[in-house]
Structure 1
Amino acid sequence: MEHATRVGTRVGNRLLAALPPADLAVLAPYLRKVPLPHDAVLVRSGDRIEHLYFPCSGAIAFIMELPNGQTAATAVIGNDGAVGLMSALGPARSPMTAVVRVAGTALQISPARFHAILLRRPAIAGAVQILTRALLTQFQHVAACNALHSVEARLARWLLHIHDRTDGGDVLPLTQETLSELLGVRRTTVTQVLSSLRASRAVKSSRRGQVEIDRLRLEAVACECYKLMSRRIDRIVSQDAVRMLHAAPAPNDCPPPDFPFARTDS
């Protein structure tokens, strides 16, 4: 069951937690903590964005779907990101599908409510800019990596990105179908790549629906994109970014207006 979150230090999402307390206090009454079940589709490509999600735990993959049915992942986010940010600029349809790959929780808010608050709180607008920069950075790196590096190196990179965003140890709940979707290759190719990673002991086992990794060996197999991308995203979502949010000009603290869509907010 959904329930309102309380303002406090245990917000879960890194950017929401970095907001000045006054800005977080404005958002908090409208945030709902919701579960993110494994394999849940939060939004499909072409659908209107009905909710914004700020993950607190778990991992979500952004999937690009082509007309011929082929898919490929363009980014993976956890508590460093958000789903549905385009709707912060106004009503929008999603350019891609967002699927929960590791179960967790998120803070959910309606786009209209978030947009109305964003217009009055510069620090929240700054958080959207930071999250957008981090996501675009990941898109650019993934595009270059897909063009230049082997399937083995790319799979190692995805496994590391997902491992970074989970707290369940070295066993990742990923099926071969999911890995095929992430990589944009056939399942037979995934089988071959997993066999190669097992031979190098970067993957300890790949039982049905699970992949057990050896992190150090996996880092040795992954291309340089993993560490480069991680450093750049961490730099964007960093203490420097936190300082920028707290340096945002304070709004005129007048009482918030009544929202015409309040009845739809459960």
Structure 2
Amino acid sequence: MTVIENHLIRMLPARERQRILAICEPAPLILADVLCTPAKRTRYAYFPTEGFISLLTSTSGSPELEVGMVGREGMLGVQMVLGVSATPLRAIVQGSGTAWRVDAGAFRKELERSPMLRRVLNRYLYVLMIQLTTSAGCLRFHQIGPRLARWLLMSQDRAHADSFRMTHEFLAYLLGVRRVGITVAANALQHSGLIAYHRGDLTVLDRNGLEMAACGCYEADRKAYADTLDSR
């Protein structure tokens, strides 16, 4: 992994970028690997360059729900900017790829040393807060079809490809609905010519159509990121 592809690292001035990369190591993101769990000390910060990570929450006696997603636009472990060593969420690799990984202790020292790194990550923390609150409202008020379209767009953005692996069972698990609900919603998108799906292989055929089918939460997340980070 020789090319810097993480957006947050790329935003740093050259000197700060070189310092953070000097304490990073390349690490694979392996599908279904758990990178952190609630209430346990975070050992590493991850800056994905390929692939993406799902952020999951759960309550006692209930299945987990996905409330956020991290790809090359962000990082995992941003709570350390606040001086907090543990996260309330479980992080699992949703799309395989690669990341820059940095030891938590070294990362905290670099945060103390670099005001620009703290500034960039504070802004990203705000964007992540918006994503989490948007997801809460989306799960409560929006129908399965628009939610599925939003999730597929978010996945495509982070996969940087039109095709990726995804099963109905895993989609149901992430969206907090029964498998039959995902099957009906996915079939509707497929019959509309927006996606193709066969035995876990999903391809986005009509990006514009999928955006029209998604709920407004997708565009709200994109706007929040652009307004907060891209226009800094």
Fold match (TM-score > 0.5) = yes
Match 1:134 to one of 127, 132, 145:
127
Structure 1 equivalent of residue 210 of structure 2: 218
Counterpart mapping for 1:55-94 below 5 A = 55-90=48-83, 92-94=85-87
1:200 CA displacement: 2.1
Q: Which amino acid aligns with 1:120?
A: R
Q: Which residue of 2 aligns with 1:194?
A: 186
| Bigger fraction of residues in helix | 2
- Structure with greater strand percent: 2
Match of 1:120 in 2: 113
* Superposition deviation, residue 162 in structure 1: 0.6
Bigger Rg, which one: 1
Residue aligning to 1:236: 228
TM-score by length of 1: 0.81
Q: CA RMSD in A?
A: 1.7
Identity percentage of aligned residues: 28
Aligned length: 231
Cα distance in 2 for residues equivalent to 1:115 and 1:15: 16
Instruction: Report how far residue 11 of structure 1 moved.
Output: 1.6
Matched residue, 2:94: 101
Contact 2:81 2:122 in 1 (8 A): no
User: CA separation in 2, counterparts of 1:23 and 1:59?
Assistant: 24
Deviation per CA, 1:126-151: give whole Å up to 9, x if none. Answer: 12202101111111211222222111
Counterpart residue type for residue 14 of structure 1: H
Aligned twin of 2:200 = 209
- Distance across 2 between alignment mates of 1:198 and 1:49: 40
Match of 2:168 in 1: 176
Q: Are positions 1:185 and 2:172 aligned together?
A: no
Mapped partners of 1:34, 1:225: distance in 2 = 31
> 1:41-62 CA distances to partner (integer Å, 9 max, x unpaired)?
1112232211100111111111
Which of 14, 18, 24 is the equivalent residue of 1:25? 18
